[in-house]
Amino acid sequence: MASLRLFLCFFLFTASSVNIVCSRSLQKDHIALFVFGDSVYDPGNNNYIDTISRANYYPYGETFFKYPTGRFSDGRLIPDFIAEYANLPLIPPYLQPGNHEFTTGVNFASAGAGALSETNQGFVIDLKTQLSYFKKVAKQLRQELGDAEAMAFLSKAVYLINIGSNDYVLPFTSNSTVFQYFSKQQYVGMVIGNLTETIKEIHMEGGRKFGFRNFGSLGCIPLLKALVPGNTAGSCFEQVNELAKLHDAALTEALEEMEIKLVQFKYSMHHLNIYLSELTKNPGRFGFKEVNKACCGSGPYRGISSCGGRRGVTEYELCSDPTQYFYFDSSHVSEKANKQIAQLMWSGPPDITGPYNLKAFFQP
């Protein structure tokens, strides 16, 4: 029976040029990684859509890949490190041409995306669309494996999600009037509502193990520090910090509720604010010399999004050693910082990761 199945799978492969999941001898403890989110997790999906929110040019990618991949960093992102720790290859962008292999997972994240469809609408792959892509993948897996085996595969997989920061930053970097119509609590409620609905939809498709990180001091990124008038003391943009704090509390509450109500639902929550607090107090302990200013950009704190000279401002500054900087550009951290955060997400203690760390999710 097993030989017949291998023959059938091989036949399907040769007939359709699609590498069918069952044509591979997946081990019993094999676990895939599926990724949803924004530029913090985008490995290059935006390379394939009509948008200016891209990082497919120098100096992005200069440290590790030695060429720009579309990642908003000098090197690897958090999902890249998580995949490495889980003994998986780099998880590819969903829109990458020719990518039809999902046995190790796939990445749907899009730079600039929000939980709200209105955030950068028309220029990103919003969360709702990312979910629709995942449903297509799940459908393909069910067709190839059968319902029971596909459900088993999807239930063992890990789902990394990081989205919402653009929803909170955009109103202050554009001419938005959203807060004339909604209170901060109402606005956060809409973001959390869309996010939790997406989580529930993934759960219905089979997802059981979810990984998150909170936003911490989102208002302290160089982009927002540069918006504070006369900011010579490194002050943070407190209105965004307030939204981030509301978001973090609401997300934790929502996850705790889903853990009770949804069958076998488990989550890991990296408390980024704990790491950022220690980092700010003692950068040298983490191997950084600069934690306020970006390596690449222009203006105060290099907080103008000009890195690479492709987004309206052609002139920009670039540091000589990104490993000394926590932030690589105005909104995104360096590869070194991504690695430190990924390590904490992977094997941090309960006060850092909540009920589970990600390592526990990948263990048989």
Based on the residue annotation, tell me whether 332 is a catalytic residue of this protein: yes
Active-site residue identified among 73, 80, 332, 334: 332
Contact present, 325 and 319 (Cβ < 8 Å): yes
**Which DSSP helix (H) or strand (E) runs through 271?**
none
Question: The tokens of 337 are what?
Answer: 């910082």
Active-site residue identified among 42, 74, 126, 329: 329
Cβ contacts of residue 271 below 8 Å, gap of 6+?
213, 214, 216, 351, 352, 353, 354
Residue 317 to residue 308: CA distance in whole angstroms: 9
Q: Write the DSSP assignment of 311-342 as a string of letters.
A: SS----EE-S-GGGBSBSSSS-B-HHHHHHHH
Based on the residue annotation, tell me whether 126 is a catalytic residue of this protein: no
Residue 317 to residue 303: CA distance in whole angstroms: 11
Cis omega before residue 355 (within 30°)?
A: no
**Closest-CA residue to 218 (of 288, 289, 276, 281):** 276
Q: At what angle do helices 184-205 and 127-145 cross, to 10 degrees?
A: 10
Based on the residue annotation, tell me whether 270 is a catalytic residue of this protein: no
Active-site residue identified among 39, 306, 330, 331: 39
* AA letter at 141: L
Which residues are identified as catalytic?
39, 329, 332
